[in-house]
Amino acid sequence: MCGIAGLILSSGAAPPDPAVLSKLIGALHHRGPDGSGHAVMGRVALLHNRLAIIDLVTGDQPFFAGPATLVANGEIYNYRELRDSLPGVNFATNSDCEPPLHLWLRDGANYAKQLRGMYGIAIHERVHRTVTLTRDPFGIKPLYIASIDGGLAFASEPQALLEAGLVKRKVRAAALEELLQLQFTTGADTIFDGIQRVLPGETITCANGHILERTRIDPIPAAPPEDIDEDAAMQRLDRALMESVDLHQRSDVPYGMFLSGGIDSATLLTLMARLNDEPVLAFTAGFDAPGATDEREQAAAIARATGARHEAIEVTEAMVWRHLPEIVAAMDDPTMDYAIIPSWFLARRARQDVKVVLTGEGGDEIFGGYKRYRQATLPWWRGGRTMWATGSFDKVPVLRSQPVGWRDGMAAAELRAAEGRRSPLAAAQALDMADWLPHDLLLKLDRCMMAHAIEGRTPFLDSGVMAAAFRLPDSMKLRGSTGKWILRRWLEKNQPAARPFAPKTGFTVPVGEWIKAQGHRLGPLVAAQAGVAQIAHPDKVVALFRDIRRWRHGFACWKLLFYALWHQRHIMNLPVSGDVWQALSAR
C-alpha cells in the first residue's frame, strides 16, 4: 500500500518542476511513511511513497526493467504464482509489485488480466515514451488523472493534484447534486472540476501529454445464473473463500481483521482461524449513545468461538466532535457515509498492533445482501422500487434549488448493469458494484485506513470468489426476505456461534442523535459556512438543526455538517485545526 503520483508532459512543455513534484509527493506522505522514490525521465515523472508490507528490505520503488519503470500502490496477491509463470526473468527484488512490470514487458496493456489484487499502477516505457495507468477491476485502490497545462498529471488522491497547484479548487455542480442526494458521486468525473477517476478495471495509455487509448476489465459476469445444486455450490464456495483469504494474508508485517456482528466479517474470521496457528487479532467498534446498535457483544461471542484475540473500542460523542474535522479532511473525494467515523477510529486503534487489516467490504454486493435487492426484483404492484430513486433532500426543503439531474449518472449505470443476460437481481448487484462499492464503501475504506498508514484488504472482492458466487442461482442469494442465503448456510455449518439466520439489526452510527443534542449550537455555525450558504438557505438550515424530528432530518443535517467541513478544507484550503466547534468558527 502506497501513494503514487506523476506528470506526463508534452514534448513542447517545460521539464517537470521539482517544486511541483515535491508538493505532489509530500501531499501523499500519509499513504507511505516508510520511504519515497522517484524517477524523472525527460518530461515524465513517476513518484512513490511507500508503506512497506511485503519485501521490507529490497522492495523500494520505482522498479526498473529494460526500457520500463513502474510505481504502484497496492498489493498483488498472486505475485508468487506470477513469478513462477515468468521463467528466465531475473527479479531484482522479492516485492509483489515487481512481477507486473515484467508482465507488461511481455503482454503490453493486457498485462493486468493476470493480476489478482488491488492496485493503482503507472508504467513508463522510455523508447516509445508511453505511460500506462491501470486500476484494479473492483476499484479497491484509487487512481486519478487530470489534464493540466502542458499535459497530464495523476495521483492516488485528488488532494495531491490540488496541493501541487495543478488543478483549481472548484466544485463541479452536477457532482455536488449527486453527493447531497446520494452521499457519493458516480462515474469518472469527480466533484473537482478537471479531475477524473481512472475507472475500476481501466487501463489508460498516454503519450506526449495526451490519452491515446482506454481499455477496461469488467470483473462482473454478464451471463445468466448457472445450474448448480446447493451442495456443489457450498463446496466450491468453501474452496474459493479459503484460497482468497489465504492469498490476502500474504504479508511480511502483522495483520488482523475488523469484526462486526455481521455475516461477512464472521465468515472472514472463521476462515482466518482455520489458516492461522496463532489467535487472530480482531477489532470491533461500538457506541456510547442510548439505543444505538452496538455489535460488540455479538462480535465478542464470535471471537470466543474462533479463539480470536478481541479488541473492542467505544466511539463516544466527545471523540467525534474532537476528530471530525480531520476525519472529513481525509475524504478528499467525498463520500458522506457516516460509517467513516467508526472506520477512522478503528484504523487508528488497529495501527498500534498491525499494519494490515482484512475487512468484509463486497460481501453484500457479491452475495446479494441488501434489502433493496428484494425491492428491485419485485414488480411495482408487489412493492417493487427502483434502487437509488429517492434523494436525501427530496423531502427536506432547505436547498436554494432542488436538484434535478442528480440521478443521471445512476440511470446510465442502470442501463449498463442490465446488459447481457443477467437476472434482475444480478443487474441490481452489478449496479451497486459500478458506483456504490468503489465510490462509497471502498473509497471510505481506503481513506480511513491510509489516514493512519494501515492497509485494508477485502477478500470478498477477488476474481476467484466472484467466479464461485456471482452466477449462483438467485435463490441461493435471495430467499424470501433473507439475503446472502448461501453465505449464511456456509456460516451456519462452519461457525454456528455467528447466528447467521438471526434477524439482522443493521449497522448505524448515532450521528443523528449526537447532532440533535447539539443542534441549537451546530445550526448557526453550519449555516454560516461559505460552502453551505451557497447551496442552502441559512435560516432554513438553522431551523432544521433545531428541530430534528425524523431520521431523514438528522441525515440531512449530517450531510450539511460534512459539506461545511469538507468545503473548508478542500475548496477554501483552510488547514485542519481544532475540534468541530473551532473549525466551524474559523471562517
Q: What is the pLDDT of residues 492-522, one digit of tens each?
A: 999 999 999 987 666 678 999 999 999 999 9
When pLDDT is averaged across residues 300-308 and rounded to a whole number, the result is 97
Kindly state the helix (H) or strand (E) to which residue 45 belongs, with its residue range. strand 44-50
Catalytic residue among 2, 206, 448, 557: 2
Scan for cell 476499484, then name that residue: 139
What residues does 135 pair with on adjacent strands? Answer: 120
When pLDDT is averaged across residues 163-167 and rounded to a whole number, the result is 98
**Cα separation of 198 and 68, whole Å?**
21
When pLDDT is averaged across residues 135-146 and rounded to a whole number, the result is 98
Domain ranges in the chain with CATH number 3.40.50.620: 230-498
| pLDDT for position 544 | 97
Position 432 confidence tier, pLDDT thresholds 50, 70, 90: very high
When pLDDT is averaged across residues 390-418 and rounded to a whole number, the result is 95
The answer on pLDDT for 97 being more than 70 is: yes
| pLDDT for position 503 | 78
Number of helices (H), then strands (E), belonging to the chain: the values are 25, 17
Kindly state the helix (H) or strand (E) to which residue 282 belongs, with its residue range. strand 281-287
Give 407-437 as a DSSP string: THHHHHHHHHHT-TT--HHHHHHHHHHHTHI
Which grid coordinates belong to 115? Answer: 493480476
Chain centroid to CA 229:
34
**Cα separation of 208 and 394, whole Å?**
46
| pLDDT for position 295 | 87
When pLDDT is averaged across residues 68-72 and rounded to a whole number, the result is 98
As a CATH number, domain 230-498 is 3.40.50.620
Active site residue 2: yes
**Cα separation of 519 and 558, whole Å?**
11
| pLDDT for position 587 | 63
Calculate the dihedral angle through the C-alpha atoms of 519, 525, 527, 528, rounding to the nearest 10 degrees.
170
**Residue 369, Cβ density class (10 Å: 0-12 exposed, 13-18 middle, ≥19 buried):** buried
When pLDDT is averaged across residues 394-404 and rounded to a whole number, the result is 95
| pLDDT for position 387 | 94
Alpha-carbon distances of 286 from 201, 209, 265, 279, 298, rounded to whole Å: 35, 49, 15, 22, 11
pLDDT tens, residue by residue, 4-15:
999 999 999 999
| pLDDT for position 506 | 60
| pLDDT for position 502 | 86
What residues does 35 pair with on adjacent strands? Answer: 50
Scan for cell 442552502, then name that residue: 536
What residues does 154 pair with on adjacent strands? Answer: 6, 145
| Phi, psi for 115 (deg, rounded to 5) | -85, 140
The answer on pLDDT for 351 being more than 70 is: yes
When pLDDT is averaged across residues 566-572 and rounded to a whole number, the result is 98
Domain ranges in the chain with CATH number 3.60.20.10: 2-216
Percent of the residues in the chain that have a pLDDT greater than 90, as a whole number: 92
Percent of the residues in the chain that have a pLDDT greater than 70, as a whole number: 99
What residues does 387 pair with on adjacent strands? Answer: none
Alpha-carbon distances of 121 from 63, 69, 78, 113, 129, rounded to whole Å: 12, 11, 16, 13, 16
pLDDT tens, residue by residue, 208-267:
999 999 999 999 998 899 999 999 999 999 999 999 999 999 999 999 999 998 999 999
When pLDDT is averaged across residues 557-571 and rounded to a whole number, the result is 98
Classified as helix, coil or strand, 123 is strand
**Cα separation of 430 and 16, whole Å?**
41
The answer on pLDDT for 542 being more than 70 is: yes
Mean pLDDT of the chain: 95
Classified as helix, coil or strand, 283 is strand
Q: Top-level CATH class of 2-216?
A: alpha beta
When pLDDT is averaged across residues 157-178 and rounded to a whole number, the result is 98
**Cα separation of 587 and 580, whole Å?**
12
pLDDT tens, residue by residue, 21-56:
999 999 999 999 999 999 999 999 999 999 999 999
| pLDDT for position 218 | 94
227-258 as b/e, with b when 16 or more CB fall inside 10 Å? eeeeeebbebbeebbebbbebbbbbbeebbbb
Nearest to 544 by CA among 436, 357, 393: 393
